[in-house]
Structure 1
Amino acid sequence: MNLPLDQLPDRCDVLIVGAGPAGSAAATVLARGGAGVVLIDQHAFPRDKVCGDGLIPDAHRALRRLGVLEEVMTQAQPVTHAGLISPRGIRVDVPGTLAVLPRRELDDIICRGAARAGARMFAPLRFVAPIEEGGMVIGARVAQGSALREIRCRWLVLASGAGPQALIAAGMASRQTPSGVALRGYLKNEAMRGRIDKLEVVWHRAVSPGYGWIFPCRDGVFNVGVGLSEFRRGGGDGNLRALFDAFTRIYAPARELVAGGEWLAPLKGAPLRCSLQGARFSRPGLLVTGEAAGSTYAFTGEGIGKALETGMLAAESLLAGLSRSEADETVRRDYEARIAALQPRFALYERANWVNRHPWLADLVLWRAQRSERIGRRLAGVLDETSNPGQLLTAKGFYRLFTE
């Protein structure tokens, strides 16, 4: 899958920087549509990626569209519920189509799918800067070690993730700091196998303005971590580690998991870019997609499904332009309209961040969900994206909490 550098072409229709979910999804759709696609990543695959590894319904739908869901599910741990736990220990188990698969395996499957579709993948290959002519991007300079190359393309797509370097180099970063940060590690604990069998998400004052999680992988392995929905300057990994230690102190299953478990990989932190904020989405000859465009939900930290979706949206806009020789401005306008259609949902997830800032709200909502089938169904709808969490926290939403 990782082709040698001497096979790197001088030009292509679309050059995609970043072979994670967004980049590989875009590459798959474009290659199926007949475009000549070069996909590059700074790391050879398979490679590790800091994430909770949870696949919720939107990710399942996107993976099905890409034709890789069956392959993913042969390696993933299926899960039937998400367990939501409030500061006072109130618990509601919400049903859903869920699974857990480490990103090392997931991203490799999606990337191999892009290669099968006809995209050419080169890694490790680092994006250095765009090539511009008359204010329009017409290619990119890339590097492998000290070797520099240039690739000309009709379109450059940045799917470079949460790190700001590529966005800054391309003049697309409107904010260099991340929206939030997360820390996770992998633990093996055979005694907890079957005892933690749901996607457990925990709110508590000790981890505010964030949350803790435990997600079960296969073979008695667990992804355990904490996420901060707001970036704290100067916080660093030390601040995250303090939150992680607090989480494993206040939540008994996490405490037991760590006390009796074997670390398979050290704790690792990573930035998050959320709420479709922090980057420009396009300029002449260039589109930004995936987490580089802020495709992670602020409230939940879920980003895999939306990264896949925005990557496919970028590909669909580009295919229409390539097939009909549309003007650059028409393609950009089409893509930005597709992203704009997603923004109201992201805004409501941003509003739902109030739960992370004020964990007592989780006590209120989950207490009512235990007593109201309608509220329980609304929580299931949040997971399935048929209802929105931010609506629970409006004046009307609070009224309905006590009247339904």
Structure 2
Amino acid sequence: MTLPLLNLSFSELPERCDVLVVGAGPAGSAAATLLARSGWDVVLVDRRSFPREKVCGDGLIPDAHAALRELGVLDEVMARAQGLQHVGCIGPRGTRVDVPATLAVLARRELDDILCRNAVRQGARMHAPVHFEAPLHDASGRVVGARLSNGGETRELQARWVVLATGAGTQPLVAADMCERQTPSGVALRGYVKNDAMQERITAMEIVWHRELRPGYGWIFPCGDGVFNIGVGVFDMHTTDAQGRNAMANVNLRQLFDAFCGFYAPAKELMAGGVLQGQLKGAPLRCTLRGARFARPGLLVAGEAAGSTYAFTGEGIGKAMETGMLAARGLLQAAAKGLDDAAVCQSYAAQLTALQPRFRFYERANQVNAHPWVVDLLLWRARKSERLLRRMSGVLNETAHPGQLFTARGIYKLFTE
């Protein structure tokens, strides 16, 4: 099969298009796919040429599977992914519960490449490396395209709409006057380690809570072929300083990573007997659909730029794709019904706002990362209760939310059910 051509040059950028999608990750590629599939002229740009690395846990939970199916690439992804059946939840005292779900792990370098190529197959034109400098405006202030650059060269591209799907970096949001908070919601550090001897030892997505990882947790995800994604993450990073300004809590991720590899035997063995593939890399996270405006005339914000990652779990791939598809459907519906800019912006913002209550439950569950004894209690009860285990599985499948487990009422039920 001939792969579609990616990374068209900066000099090949057209002067205009129907929609300019900035950022070719899951959100941007999802939006570009639906729009191009419907016959729209779509230009997709990214600041890095594909394939490229992306710091992530690489886990695909059921919401990601559903989005990949809708985009038509689930089979292609699963042919290259490591399919799994359980998340192994490990508490501070070593108590373990394997929670069943439909799961997979695929490095974002491969996943994003598949998604981007799918958008190109549908008719989108992908140009990289291309940097988003700022939006273009007409006399009324409506966004009508963008100023883009590569090296010392700058070009202007006219577009009816711009979809900003630029991830956790805030520079594009600031340039587009869409940023409400520059500090991230969380930070994570991950690496890839090859250790063939651990293939039979670690066969689930393992998540570990421990007092030495407060206020975060560690993970080990099997990627297949003896390679594992290992990392640590911390949420609730956003604070306010004495002057009332946004600030970021001081956390040393490398110290947390070393602690994880010190107290958790599988992590210690994985690192001691394995070979690190590249370097440990860190990245910020934007969660809970907060920190950015969602829409203005001519421009929509999608994916992690809009805060589409769940706090507590750090899962964001599926929700990024969902927001990208919401943006695309909004534009398609507007064209079909003749809606004006105000209606498009209002409808899109309302759809994202409607998702926020679920995101807030995950945000509240962050208290567990600071108080890992709660995990011990939950796992102790889950080993005795099929109903509780189903509820934990429901959190992964989005038929339940963590607020049903980690609120005061939820903890009370651990003793009464």
Instruction: State whether TM-score is above 0.5.
Output: yes
2:345 pairs, out of 322, 332, 337, with 332
Q: What is the aligned partner in structure 1 of residue 175 from structure 2?
A: 169
Q: How many residues align?
A: 403
Matches for 1:268-279 after TM superposition, within 5 Å: 268-279=281-292
1:210 pairs, out of 209, 216, 224, with 216
Instruction: State whether residues 286 and 307 of structure 2, in contact with CA within 8 Å, keep that contact through their aligned partners in structure 1.
Output: yes
How far 1:7 sits from its partner (Å)? 2.5
How far 1:235 sits from its partner (Å)? 6.5
CA distance in 2, matches of 1:269, 1:393: 28
Q: What is the aligned partner in structure 2 of residue 159 from structure 1?
A: 165
How far 1:159 sits from its partner (Å)? 0.1
Q: What is the aligned partner in structure 1 of residue 80 from structure 2?
A: 75
CA distance in 2, matches of 1:169, 1:395: 42
TM-score by length of 1: 0.98
CA distance in 2, matches of 1:83, 1:391: 20
CA distance in 2, matches of 1:176, 1:161: 12
Q: Secondary structure at the match of 1:271?
A: strand
How far 1:222 sits from its partner (Å)? 0.3
The residue identity in structure 1 corresponding to 2:9 is P
2:333 pairs, out of 307, 320, 324, with 320
Is 1:128 the counterpart of 2:141? The answer is no
How far 1:354 sits from its partner (Å)? 1.1
Instruction: State whether residues 203 and 359 of structure 1, in contact with CA within 8 Å, keep that contact through their aligned partners in structure 2.
Output: yes
CA distance in 2, matches of 1:393, 1:84: 15
The residue identity in structure 2 corresponding to 1:77 is Q
The residue identity in structure 1 corresponding to 2:127 is F
Q: What is the aligned partner in structure 1 of residue 196 from structure 2?
A: 190
How far 1:234 sits from its partner (Å)? 6.9
1:200 pairs, out of 202, 206, 229, with 206
Instruction: State whether residues 350 and 390 of structure 1, in contact with CA within 8 Å, keep that contact through their aligned partners in structure 2.
Output: no
Deviation digits for residues 152-200 of structure 1, max 9, x if unmatched?
Answer: 1111111000010100110111000111100000000011012101000
More divergent stretch after superposition (29-38 vs 375-384)? 29-38
Q: What is the aligned partner in structure 1 of residue 267 from structure 2?
A: 254
2:374 pairs, out of 361, 373, 377, with 361
Q: What is the aligned partner in structure 2 of residue 113 from structure 1?
A: 118
Is 1:93 the counterpart of 2:98? The answer is yes
Deviation digits for residues 204-260 of structure 1, max 9, x if unmatched?
Answer: 111111110000011100000000112276777x81100000111111100110111
Deviation digits for residues 350-369 of structure 1, max 9, x if unmatched?
Answer: 11111111111101111111
CA distance in 1, matches of 2:370, 2:322: 28
Q: Secondary structure at the match of 1:378?
A: helix
1:289 pairs, out of 290, 295, 302, with 302
CA distance in 1, matches of 2:324, 2:38: 14
Unpaired runs of at least 5, structure 1: none
CA distance in 2, matches of 1:22, 1:169: 19
Change (3 A) 1:71 1:209: same
Q: What is the aligned partner in structure 1 of residue 144 from structure 2?
A: 138
Matches for 1:222-233 after TM superposition, within 5 Å: 222-231=228-237
Instruction: State whether residues 87 and 98 of structure 2, in contact with CA within 8 Å, keep that contact through their aligned partners in structure 1.
Output: yes
How far 1:326 sits from its partner (Å)? 1.3
The residue identity in structure 2 corresponding to 1:215 is F
The residue identity in structure 2 corresponding to 1:19 is A
The residue identity in structure 1 corresponding to 2:95 is I
CA distance in 2, matches of 1:37, 1:109: 18
TM-score by length of 2: 0.95
CA distance in 2, matches of 1:394, 1:272: 24
CA distance in 1, matches of 2:336, 2:126: 23
Instruction: State whether residues 184 and 248 of structure 2, in contact with CA within 8 Å, keep that contact through their aligned partners in structure 1.
Output: no
Deviation digits for residues 77-121 of structure 1, max 9, x if unmatched?
Answer: 111100000111110000111011000000000000000111111
1:31 pairs, out of 29, 36, 54, with 36
Q: Secondary structure at the match of 2:355?
A: helix
Q: What is the aligned partner in structure 2 of residue 389 from structure 1?
A: 402
CA distance in 2, matches of 1:235, 1:104: 29
Instruction: State whether residues 90 and 367 of structure 1, in contact with CA within 8 Å, keep that contact through their aligned partners in structure 2.
Output: yes
How far 1:135 sits from its partner (Å)? 1.6
Q: What is the aligned partner in structure 1 of residue 24 from structure 2?
A: 19
How far 1:32 sits from its partner (Å)? 1.2
What RMSD over aligned residues (CA atoms) do the two structures have, in Å?
1.2
Q: Secondary structure at the match of 1:2?
A: coil
